[in-house]
Amino acid sequence: MSSPTRWQGHLDALGPRERDTLLGTSLSRRFTQLPLWLSHPSNISAFYGLLVSLALLLPYRFGQASESWFTNWVFHSALIMVACLLLGMLSLVIVRISRRFPVTPPRLILYPMPFVGFGLLTISHSGMYDLPAYLYMFLLLLPGPMYVHLSWAPRWRLLCQLEDGVNPFQSLKMSPEEDSNDVEEIAGGDEELLSVVNALEDE
């Protein structure tokens, strides 16, 4: 069982840009506070499936006249969680093969999807329109596994490497020439600012 703070002892050896890539935004930073075994991509994806299942509880309760609505909800919830779990495992396998670094998911597209899907499901269960189930289920389920695939699975792989004492950014270290070019770009041709930066580097 991995300690949630073991890999954090290696953060001081990384630069600010590398730490931002490793920790990500607010959502990913919450997951980094968990032990690595608990924040496994399949677990995070299955947790999203659980949240979707809880959101489906009311539509199943009031949208079905059958007395077996709870049994149907439990069965479909289990299918949703297992499907999300398998997608999370598949994402981790793909990331380990491709060694891809995390990228920012398209939030403007992914974040509204569950709300749109839930709205379509409510319309379908209310009898206003008979919408195909795959349409709203696709919108409900896509954001979680997509976030895991694009952002969390690559980030979790990097955290595991850091946990083992391996610097995942070692092959991407910037050369001194690149560092000096960045300093010159930031200074914007200001000779006084550039001289101050050079003086600080000498110290």
Mean pLDDT of the chain: 80
Whole-angstrom Cα distance, residue 144 to residue 48? 6
What pLDDT was estimated at residue 151?
94
Average pLDDT over residues 66-71: 81
CB 156 within 8 A of CB 41: yes
Whole-angstrom Cα distance, residue 38 to residue 166? 21
Whole-angstrom Cα distance, residue 13 to residue 33? 19
What pLDDT was estimated at residue 4?
46
Query: What percent of the residues of the chain are helix, what percent strand, and what percent coil, each to the nearest 5?
Result: 75, 0, 25
Whole-angstrom Cα distance, residue 19 to residue 118? 36
Q: What's the pLDDT band for 50 if we cut at 50, 70, 90?
A: very high
Q: What's the pLDDT band for 81 if we cut at 50, 70, 90?
A: very high
Whole-angstrom Cα distance, residue 56 to residue 125? 11
Checking phi first, is residue 190 left (phi over 0); if not, alpha (psi -120 to 50) or beta?
A: beta
Q: What's the pLDDT band for 142 if we cut at 50, 70, 90?
A: very high
pTM: 0.76
What pLDDT was estimated at residue 2?
44
Average pLDDT over residues 61-85: 86
Of the candidates 22, 58, 55, 56, the residue with the CA atom closest to the CA atom of residue 154: 22
Residue 199 pLDDT more than 80?
Answer: no
Of the candidates 131, 133, 132, 138, the residue with the CA atom closest to the CA atom of residue 87: 138
Percent of the chain with pLDDT over 90: 34
